[in-house]
Structure 1
Amino acid sequence: MKILIIEDESGISNFLKQGLEEEGYTIHVASDGMIGLEMAKKEMPDLILLDWMLPKLTGLEVCEAIRKEDQKTPILFLTAKDTVQETIEGLKAGANDYIKKPFSFEELLERIKIHFRNEQKPEILKLGSISIKTLSHQVFVEDKEVLLTQREYDLLKYLIERKGTVCSRNSIIEDVWDIHFEYDTGVIDVFINAIRKKLNLNKDVELIKTIRGVGYIANEN
């Protein structure tokens, strides 16, 4: 699961990043409201931790802008504000929850887990004859199970979750490999070829198609 932290206090964001990564989450951090809004659109996080007081755009403005385009991603406000009126403003802007600073990491973690339980994604993902059981991490072609490595599984799942959307090499290397610096994306080709071979994909039906110079797309058309 991917979490975007929009927080201008580096001490808080670094603390949250380290703690949540230790819990197995993929973490992106933005230090102001403008960058946070851009990353919310680009990274497609599964949950957003949003500070109320931010430079460039306030948390309230960021929340309202996100909700104009996205009605699903849970947004949790991190705020020192605690009046009833301010809480109502945050909820009206589209926030799902809020937690008052200072807060315990354990309480925040439990709130995050609750929202992920409430926003569970489909247990079965499909692409043509391919199906993935996400809870058991099993991959099938028709009724035959295919054994993939963890990285192959993560890459296939990533593409199928974004079915019909071109996934750039940079986004794949950042989201699947969790690498956020210049890196040879040619490694992706190796894994794609391995997946195609293991799934015995028919060359006449390009379920996983290469978009030259850009990346890949999972498509049934």
Structure 2
Amino acid sequence: MPDTIKILLAEDEPSLALIVKESLETRDFEVIVCADGEEVLQKYNEEKPELLVLDVMMPKTDGFAVAEQVRKTDKRTPIIFLTAKSQTKDVVEGFQHGGNDYLKKPFSMEELIVRIHALLNRVVGGSEEIKKDDDIAIGSYVFNPTKQTLTYKDESEVLTHRETEVLKHLYQNKNEMVTRSFILNDIWGNDDFFSGRSLDVFISKLRKKLSADPAVQIINSRGFGYKLIC
């Protein structure tokens, strides 16, 4: 990963594009702004950015179509959608078209920056691969996703499927923030209120199950996501 991260920003509203560009540049990102989908594809091929921030509703070619084109040859570069659409089906459609995350307008710059860093950290570090039947050390615990077990010393307990999937996502990105929207859409298939409350319950259960080792913590950034410290 280069010292200066190059971000391709697709936003056809000039005032918003300028605000986002200037805010990201104060964090030492290099930002390339495009006003329509065709320009995005051209600049993407020329500049090879490390991350794309795509407005869904763009002239000529919309953000979903742009993401589909990018994903034909590039499965790795993170894509964040910006959208005024708030229906669950619209959000799910974004993930189906190759997006990694999304932000509903209006959004705060701090939230966008947190999500950018979370996605870039996954690319830089790479999600830790979990092989079948692996016993994984999480502090003093042993986690086996295949058997859905969590063992502390000689005591083992069986996790539910959802507990296993949430802990697996956190472990694969340990010591890095994982956004709520990524976990919810990947496991639940949506990020509506009820799914979000369900995730909060599973996080609380996992915290209790991991509480015997003070070196292991699940911390949260309110409204953004969770981080497994181990």
Match of 1:50 in 2: 54
Match of 2:67 in 1: 63
Amino acid at match of 1:62: V
1:20 equivalent to 2:21? Answer: no
CA RMSD of aligned residues (A): 1.1
Please list every run of at least 4 consecutive aligned residues from structure 1 whose deviation after the TM superposition is greater than 4 angstroms: none
1:83 equivalent to 2:87? Answer: yes
Normalising by structure 2, report the TM-score.
0.52
Shift of 1:117: 0.7
SS at match of 2:61: coil
Instruction: Render the CA deviation track for 1:48-84: whole Å, top value 9, x for unaligned.
Output: 0000000000111101011111111000000001111
Instruction: Render the CA deviation track for 1:19-75: whole Å, top value 9, x for unaligned.
Output: 000100011011100001111111100000000000000111101011111111000
User: Structure 2 matches for 1:142-221, cutoff 5 A?
Assistant: none
1:5 equivalent to 2:2? Answer: no
* Structure 1 unmatched runs, 5+: 123-221
Distance 1:4 1:12 in 2: 14
Amino acid at match of 1:69: T
Distance 1:121 1:21 in 2: 23
Instruction: Render the CA deviation track for 1:91-126: whole Å, top value 9, x for unaligned.
Output: 00000000000000011110111111111069xxxx
Distance 2:110 2:42 in 1: 29
Instruction: Render the CA deviation track for 1:120-171: whole Å, top value 9, x for unaligned.
Output: 069xxxxxxxxxxxxxxxxxxxxxxxxxxxxxxxxxxxxxxxxxxxxxxxxx
Shift of 1:88: 1.0
Normalising by structure 1, report the TM-score.
0.54
Distance 1:41 1:70 in 2: 11
1:113 equivalent to 2:117? Answer: yes
* Structure 2 unmatched runs, 5+: 127-230
SS at match of 1:116: helix
Distance 1:68 1:121 in 2: 23
Match of 1:152 in 2: none
Equivalenced residue count is 122
Distance 2:39 2:91 in 1: 24
Instruction: Render the CA deviation track for 1:186-212: whole Å, top value 9, x for unaligned.
Output: xxxxxxxxxxxxxxxxxxxxxxxxxxx
- Matching residue within 86, 93, 98 for 2:97: 93
